[in-house]
Structure 1
Amino acid sequence: MTTVSHQNVVDWLISARHPVDNPDSWMVECCERMVEAGLPLWRVGVFIRTLHPEVFGRNFIWTRGAPEIQIGSVDFDIQNTPEFQASPLSILFNNAVEVRGDPNGPDAERFPLLLDLRNEGATDYLALPLGFLDGTGHAMSVSTRQPGGFNPDQVAALRVIIEPLARIIEIISQRRTAEVLLDTYVGNRAGARILGGQIRRGHNDTMQAAIWLSDLRGFTALSDRLPPETVVEILNHYFDCQVTAIRSRGGEVLKFMGDGLLAVFPIDEYVDDAAHVCARVLEAARESRASVEALAFPVGDAVERFRFGVALHVGNILYGNIGGGNRLDFTCIGPAVNLAARLEKIAGRLGRTVVVSEVFANACRHDWRELGEFPIAGFSRAQRVYGLAEETPVVMA
């Protein structure tokens, strides 16, 4: 019988410093240490439920001899699929109990997963609850190709290892959850800064950026004649039309303000060329325009159609923590942001979807049409404004 020296693994889990920012390499090392300790692991899966608006859970699969960890995610619909309901993990998640199955026995008829494992040479399968201190339940599954499956000592060792293992995985998971929540609510760059320790008022940086400020035309009238629930649903679809385009081109959405959206596209003078960044911003604006124009929302017997306006500018902004007491907001301020806000109002008056400042127009070579000079409240001189030559203005009543 193979001797299991699981205490070495337990000591490593308890005493070592584990890299929470690189869970892939950590899982590889952990699995390799368990194999060295005498556990005949062939495949290990870690299944973590997440706190994410679109993702139900993530899975990390280590296979002995494979070059890297396989990482996947599933949405909330997975819970209703026949595959999940006929899975050992469904029983584990619903009842918080171990589930063991023999791929070469009658269990394979009950769990189709075991049939797949049998075809790959597996001789045993064990799913173990991975309990976190906050009471949430997760799972780890192990399978082997050892003749006869896991022996009693090996199963006992796995049950001992799972406790300290769960603590480390919980720490890694909580770090990941914090990153996801910060990314969801304040943006990815702001989230990274907050996790990096920039949590005090006065932690601010000055940076150059292209600024995006948009709003939905006719939103006040829309809110007045439609139920609030419908308005919220419309806003979610409307923001979807912009956020994907913005983020795919390097922008960060900082704030939703009613029907307004503030985003920035940082310009690193050592890496980025302002012309290239502004060209990406213009691509995002044109894609968003097409998406909003194509948006059709049925309300009763009618179909609502929408238009929006976006102002684009380039300038220096103050980016960081602003607020009072222990309630802070990670955002950006400065004259450049104020100018973008004023330009967005001009876009509405002119019936334009996209308007840009003279600075943006100079940075982004395009077929611009000069729209004139406009006095801007709070600014000492009038500002020259440009629009897309191909755009036909539409002034809404």
Structure 2
Amino acid sequence: MQVPSNATSGLRRESAGAPPSDSSGIIEWLMTETRDDRFIDNIFIDMCNRLNQAGIPVSRGTLHFRILHPQWLGARILWQRGMEEADIQTFGFGIEDSDRYRNSPVNDLHNGAAEVRQRLEPAAFANAPPYPLYDELRIEGHTDYIAWPLKHTLGKNHIITFGSDRPGGFSDDDITALAELLPAFALVSEIRLKNRLARTLLETYVGPHASEQILAGATTRGSGVTVGAAILICDLRDFTGISDMWPRDDVIELLNGYFDAMAEPIERHGGEILKFMGDGLLAIFPLSNTRACGDLLAAIREAQTAMTALNEENVKKGYQPLGYGIGVHVGDVMYGNIGSRSRLDFTVIGPTVNVASRLESLTKELKRPVLLSRAFVEIAGCEAKIPGCETKMENVGSHLLRGLSEPIDVFAF
């Protein structure tokens, strides 16, 4: 779809007395002086300010990026004159079905327009498309608006826009100067965006702390550190039967609901989920945080509440309530890279993880959904006889776990 440059015929002109626009210095700055700037929003702010210093009257600018994220379809970076920091807004999946998106120049560009130009002063606005954005820009005092695709490699197109508040808007030379910036800015923005996407993908699949370690160079097999941590292992009950009997889409919906109920409280309280294992998960709460054990318990309590609510909804839909088991232990673990020469997993291993796993398995035998080792309970300060404990613990006896030579005291709540 090619969108016409609305109401521009005969209206492009040089602003009286304005010096010719020149972006060559800004292009050189983009290519040679931004290499140490990590964030594209900061570069964009600096560029807009430099455009004004060069005599190009930019009063507003936006970047629209599509991003690879499990929760967000895209993001918009907004700068307006006088802002020291850009406003960054994310957009969820489904926004493309909204009237706001359909009636916008961004949609026009996504549908193939090479340029969208709209003068906003009354003489040129009579035949403008009825886009809410244009009305908002006029109220804010902008007189001109132009938007282009921002072309990245392999056919990836994003969007860049500029607005002006100068009477008469942008001149022909202004438009030429802005257009000349696009290839250089596309290169600079793609590098930053791909860095951000790499970080986002790593955070999505291995968690924020592990992603930092990997991006910092911890990619050698066997590299790692010993850390003290509280370990939580959770597993869904009877998932094999559910997956065999229920339709695939129902199974995926139930599994996602279960993981939301468990994972969101863990992450909210500072835990890190290192992996999802089919219908289970492994999370750590590093003891470098002095409240790690208390945070883990708070996460479990919130997860239990979330699971109760989820099961109420599942029962209304005709499903059986979902059961689960959680095992918790604390101690030193090896945290690092393990795997084959070409395929690594950033995870934790060691006896502490094994005990947490055995406790999770013991929940089936004892018919208690959450079991914790005495070592964890003592560090957390939550044994029933300890004053000030927020969580009542019940000692359910000593149990010999597989792989251990001595039984350990086990608690439930």
Asked if these proteins are the same fold (TM beyond 0.5), I'd say: yes
Shift of residue 292, structure 1, vs aligned partner = 1.3
TM-score (norm 1): 0.93
Q: Which residue identity lines up with residue 339 of structure 1 in the other structure?
A: V
Of residues 7, 18, 29 in structure 2, which corresponds to 1:12?
A: 29
Paired position in structure 2 for 1:70 = 87
**Aligned partners of 2:264 and 2:410: how far apart in 1?**
27
Asked if structure 1 preserves the Cα contact closer than 8 Å seen for 2:336 and 2:348, the reply is: yes
Residue 392 of structure 1: aligned partner: none
Equivalent residue runs for 1:168-317 within 5 Å: 168-268=188-288, 272-273=289-290, 276-296=291-311, 298=314, 302-317=318-333
For 1:88 and 1:341, the matched residues in 2 are separated by 54
CA distance in 2, matches of 1:18, 1:264: 36
Aligned Cα root-mean-square deviation (Å): 1.6
What is aligned with 2:410?
385
Alignment map for 1:16-35 (pairs within 5 Å): 16-19=33-36, 21-35=38-52
CA deviation after TM superposition for structure 1 residue 192, in Å: 1.1
Is this contact kept in 2: 1:188–1:252, CA < 8 A?
yes
What is residue 119 of structure 2 aligned with on the other side?
102
How many angstroms does 1:108 deviate by?
Answer: 4.1
Aligned pairs (5 A) from 1:54-203: 54-104=71-121, 105-203=125-223
Which deviates more, 146-155 or 361-370?
Answer: 361-370
- Counterpart residue type for residue 41 of structure 2: D
Q: Please state whether the residue corresponding to 1:316 is helix, strand or coil.
A: strand
What is the CA distance between 1:205 and its match in structure 2?
Answer: 1.1
**Equivalent of 1:352 in 344, 355, 368:** 368
Contact 2:206 2:346 in 1 (8 A): yes
Contact 1:317 1:336 in 2 (8 A): yes
Secondary structure of the structure 1 residue equivalent to 2:329 = strand
Per the alignment, residue 331 of structure 1 pairs with 347
Q: Does 1:374 align with 2:399?
A: yes
Work out the CA distance in 2 between the residues paired with 1:228 and 1:111.
42
Distance 1:75 1:226, change over 3 A: same
Q: Secondary structure at the match of 2:111?
A: helix
Secondary structure at the aligned position of 2:319 is classed as strand
Residue 134 of structure 1: SS of its match in structure 2? helix
Whole-angstrom CA distance in 2 between matches of 1:360 and 1:301: 38
Q: State the AA in 1 paired with 2:396.
A: L
**Aligned mate of 2:338, from 286, 306, 322:** 322
Among 35, 41, 57, the residue aligned to 1:40? 57
Code of the residue aligned with 1:234 in structure 2: it is L
Contact kept in structure 2, 1:43 and 1:144, CA below 8 Å: yes
Shift of 1:9: 0.4
- Whole-angstrom distance in 2 between the partners of 1:139 and 1:86: 16
For 1:212 and 1:72, locate their aligned partners in 2 and report how far apart those are by CA, in whole Å: 34
8 Å Cα contact 1:102/1:114 also seen in 2: no
CA distance in 1, matches of 2:396, 2:37: 53
Structure 1 residues 175 and 303, CA gap change in structure 2 (3 angstroms):
same
1:361 pairs with 2:377: yes
Deviation of 1:96 after TM superposition, in Å, equals: 4.3
SS in structure 2 at match of 1:212: strand
Work out the number of aligned pairs and report it. 383
Runs of 4+ in 1 over 4 A off after TM superposition: 297-301
**195-204 vs 11-20, which deviates more?**
11-20
Contact 2:315 2:321 in 1 (8 A): no
SS of structure 2 residue aligned to 1:12: helix
1:304 Cα shift?
2.1
The answer to which of 220-229 and 374-383 deviates more is: 220-229
Contact 1:19 1:26 in 2 (8 A): no
CA distance in 1, matches of 2:281, 2:317: 30
Query: Which amino acid in 1 is paired with 2:296?
Result: V
In the alignment, the residues of structure 2 paired with residue 332 and residue 256 of structure 1 have an alpha-carbon distance, to the nearest angstrom, of: 13
Q: Answer whether contact 2:34 2:43 (CA < 8 A) is retained.
A: no
Check 1:340–1:154 CA distance in 2 against 1; reply closer, same or farther (3 A cut): same
> SS in structure 2 opposite 1:303?
coil
Task: Tell me, in whole angstroms, the C-alpha distance in 1 between the residues paired with 2:38 and 2:355.
Answer: 39
Q: Which amino acid aligns with 2:96?
A: Q
Tell me the distance in 2 between the aligned counterparts of 1:263 and 1:232.
21
The answer to whether the 8 Å contact 1:293/1:306 transfers is no
Query: CA–CA distance in 2 between the matches of 1:97 and 1:301?
Result: 48
Partner AA of 1:4 in structure 2: S
AA aligned opposite 2:340: G
What is the alpha-carbon distance in structure 2 between the residues aligned to residue 330 and residue 382 of structure 1?
Answer: 31
Q: The residue matched to 1:302 in structure 2 has which SS?
A: coil
CA pair 305-35 structure 1, distance change in 2 beyond 3 A: same
Distance verdict in 2 for CA 1:348–1:20, change over 3 Å: farther
Q: Distance in 2 between matches of 1:354 and 1:227?
A: 29
Between the aligned partners of 1:37 and 1:304, the Cα distance in structure 2 is 67
